């Protein structure tokens, strides 16, 4: 009997110690995470200029944003453009790199490190670097493309200074960090049982057949993961535009998060900015719920289907 009590006691004590160790994190979650989220929900129903006290105006912010704000739709459109192109392209390039680097040539770990390295660079530094590369007049990229321009007798591309190309330029630049997803693909690729390839070899399957019928299906979990993460991340695109283009030229890279930021910083409209944040949350939630339906096409190895 005495023994049981002491075990219960010990369990309790253990729990307590567990909470104690988790307390800094719990504190952060509640005070720095949960509280601001709740406050922003409250602010979204107010007119709050960050100096005077918030004044409750109920759904006015939402009404204005959805029915009488041209920039809201423009910035949402820009963001959707970014999502629709950047997410699939990022997956494609990440997969492509993973295929390339999933071989047993000499020094492969060096190559893998090299492709992963851009992810270690801060986004700000990366963006500044690419600004130099893409600079239309003396940037390295246009210098390299010069023979092509001359061949086709065309004007050099304006990249981020050309409003028709600016969004694509930012997407292209973002591909530089595809190494991040590549690592995940690589890990999964190397998880695929070698026996599957061996039996395919015995059946005389070609490299291409093996890729289509073994590698790709077994990689769907990581593709799916990167797809969902990419989706959520792309909706929040901000930093690259803030540094490289300032939302321009002519608002062509004025993304949703950028408009949200301006509402707060330039218009002193914290209430409106909070409402934008909640609208974005709803949009991302809806898109993610739809994206999760693709789960039925994902093949999990070792699971009964």
Partner 1 sequence: MKKFLSILLLGLLSLALYGCNDDTPTDRIEITFWHMSPVGSASFSDTRRIITEFNQSQDVYFVKGTGFSFWDYWDKIAVAISSRTAPDIGLSTIDDVPIRAEAGVLYNLSELIEADPDGIEIDQLYDSQLSFATYDGHLYALPFTATTRVLYYNLDMFTAAGLSADDVPTTWSELHTVAKQLDIVQGSSIQQLGFDPTYGNATYHGYLWQAGLDFFDEDLNPTLNTQGHIDVLQWMIDFNSEFTRSQLTAFGDANTMLGINPFAGERVAMMIEVDSLYQTIKEAGADFNFGVTSIPVPDDGGIRVNWGSGFSVEMYDNNKNTPDKKAGAWEFLKYLMSKDTQKDLSETNGWIMAHQGAMLEVAEGDAIMTRILEEVAYARDKVYVPYAPSWHGNDWQSYYNDALTGKKTAAQALADARANYLQKKANWEATR
Residues lying near partner 1 in the complex (CB under 8 A) are found at 47, 49-52, 57, 60-61, 64, 68-71, 131-132, 135-138, 158, 161, 163, 246-251, 254, 262, 266-269, 271-272
Nearer to partner 1, 158 or 221 (CB): 158
CB of 63 to partner 1, least distance (A): 8
CA 71 to CA 252: how far, in whole Å?
11
Q: Do the Cβ atoms of 176 and 121 come closer than 8 Å?
A: no
CB of 98 to partner 1, least distance (A): 35
Nearer to partner 1, 53 or 105 (CB): 53
CA 222 to CA 298: how far, in whole Å?
9
Nearer to partner 1, 91 or 272 (CB): 272
Per-residue tokens: 277: 């944040």
CB of 56 to partner 1, least distance (A): 11
Q: Do the Cβ atoms of 44 and 274 come closer than 8 Å?
A: yes
CB of 244 to partner 1, least distance (A): 12
Per-residue tokens: 289: 């719920």
Cis peptide before 249 (omega within 30 of 0): yes
CB of 75 to partner 1, least distance (A): 12
Helices (H), the chain: 2-27, 35-43, 60-67, 70-101, 108-116, 123-134, 140-151, 166-174, 179-189, 194-202, 207-210, 216-235, 239-244, 256-265, 270-292
Nearer to partner 1, 257 or 269 (CB): 269
Nearer to partner 1, 54 or 180 (CB): 54
- What distances in angstroms separate CA 111 from CA 97, 103, 150, 186, 256, one per listed residue? 10, 11, 34, 13, 36
Nearer to partner 1, 266 or 305 (CB): 266
CB of 16 to partner 1, least distance (A): 21
Nearer to partner 1, 55 or 209 (CB): 55
CB of 232 to partner 1, least distance (A): 26
Which residues neighbour 271 within 8 Å (Cβ) at sequence distance 6 or greater?
Answer: 43, 44, 45, 46, 47, 48, 54, 57, 61
Q: Do the Cβ atoms of 93 and 178 come closer than 8 Å?
A: yes
């Amino acid at each position: 009997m005495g023994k049981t009590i002491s075990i219960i006691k010990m369990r309790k004590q253990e729990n307590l110690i567990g909470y104690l160790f988790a307390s800094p994190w719990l504190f952060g979650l509640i005070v720095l995470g949960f509280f601001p989220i709740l406050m922003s929900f409250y602010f979204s129903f107010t007119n709050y200029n960050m100096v005077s006290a918030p004044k409750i105006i109920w759904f006015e912010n939402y009404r204005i944003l959805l029915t009488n704000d041209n920039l809201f739709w423009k910035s949402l459109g820009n963001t959707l453009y970014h999502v629709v192109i950047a997410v699939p392209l990022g997956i494609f390039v990440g997969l492509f790199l993973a295929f390339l680097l999933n071989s047993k040539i000499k020094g492969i770990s060096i190559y893998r490190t090299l492709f992963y390295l851009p992810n270690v660079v801060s986004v700000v530094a990366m963006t500044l670097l690419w600004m130099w590369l893409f600079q239309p007049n003396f940037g390295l990229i246009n210098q390299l493309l010069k023979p092509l321009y001359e061949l086709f007798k065309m004007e050099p591309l304006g990249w981020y200074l050309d409003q028709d190309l600016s969004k694509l330029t930012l997407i292209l630049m973002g591909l530089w960090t595809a190494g991040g997803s590549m690592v995940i693909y690589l890990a999964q690729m190397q998880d695929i049982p070698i026996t599957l390839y061996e039996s395919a070899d015995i059946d005389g399957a070609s490299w291409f057949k093996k890729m289509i019928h073994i590698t790709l299906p077994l990689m769907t979990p990581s593709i799916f993961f990167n797809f969902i993460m990419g989706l959520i991340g792309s909706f929040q695109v901000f930093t690259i535009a803030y540094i490289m283009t300032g939302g321009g030229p002519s608002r062509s890279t004025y993304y949703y998060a950028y408009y949200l930021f301006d509402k707060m910083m330039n218009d002193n409209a914290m209430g409106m900015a909070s409402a934008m944040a909640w609208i974005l949350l709803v949009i991302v939630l809806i898109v993610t719920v739809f994206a999760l339906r693709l789960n039925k096409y994902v093949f999990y190895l070792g699971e009964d289907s």
